[in-house]
């Protein structure tokens, strides 16, 4: 048996966990890249997600607040990947706008494009959209500020 077979599988989100403090079951980032100055990200919601059992039995959907949280987490990873030095952990300060156009369902992948309106070490102002299969599911604009430890 080779040593590779005995080695534990590498966590595919290891890089993301090194960038933001979120952990399961509240980590909603699978992949983030910077493309032409924008944050391009994705998240697949597996059928095993904790919220599907109660939201809603018989017709499970990703809660809208989780869709917004997913955008913000991906935006946070993207800001750091762009090299913007952050002064601490960011927390929501304001949701300026949020629109839900279709539900997210178990097993679906949310593809996101997020842009910075303003990004400093203490304030991040972003807007973004997430789509499933090319159909817009969520659009939002938000502001995050550094928490008390920053």
CATH match of 22-146 with 3.40.50.300? no
- Cα–Cα distances (Å) from 109 to 6, 84, 132, in that order, read 31, 27, 6
DSSP 16-83: HHHHS---TTS---SEEEEETTEEEEEEE--TT-GGGGTS-TTS----HHHHHHHHHHHHHHHHHHTT
Q: What is the mean pLDDT of the chain?
A: 93
pLDDT reported for residue 83: 95
Q: Is the pLDDT of residue 6 over 90?
A: no
Distance CA 60, CA 51 (A): 8
For residue range 77-130, what is the model confidence (pLDDT) as tens digits? Answer: 999 999 998 888 999 999 999 999 999 999 999 999 999 999 999 999 999 999
Q: Give first-to-last CA distance, the chain, whole Å.
A: 49
State the catalytic residue, choosing from 13, 55, 102, 127.
55
Q: Is the pLDDT of residue 3 over 50?
A: no
Domain ranges of the chain: 22-146
pLDDT reported for residue 2: 44
For residue range 121-138, what is the model confidence (pLDDT) as tens digits? Answer: 999 999 999 999 999 999
Question: Has 55 been annotated as catalytic?
Answer: yes
């Amino acid at each position: 048996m080779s040593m590779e077979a005995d080695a534990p599988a590498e966590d595919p989100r290891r890089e993301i966990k090194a960038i933001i403090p979120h952990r399961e079951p509240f980590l909603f980032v699978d992949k983030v890249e910077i493309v032409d100055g924008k944050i391009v990200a994705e998240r697949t919601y597996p059928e095993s997600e904790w919220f599907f059992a109660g939201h809603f039995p018989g017709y499970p959907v990703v809660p809208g607040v989780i869709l917004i949280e997913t955008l913000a987490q991906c935006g946070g990873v993207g800001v750091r990947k762009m090299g913007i030095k952050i002064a601490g952990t960011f927390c929501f300060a304001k949701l300026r706008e949020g629109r839900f156009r279709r539900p997210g369902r178990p097993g679906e992948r949310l593809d996101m494009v997020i842009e910075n309106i303003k990004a400093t070490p203490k304030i991040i102002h972003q807007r973004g959209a997430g789509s499933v299969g090319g159909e817009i599911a969520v659009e939002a604009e938000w502001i995050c500020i550094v928490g008390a430890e920053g």
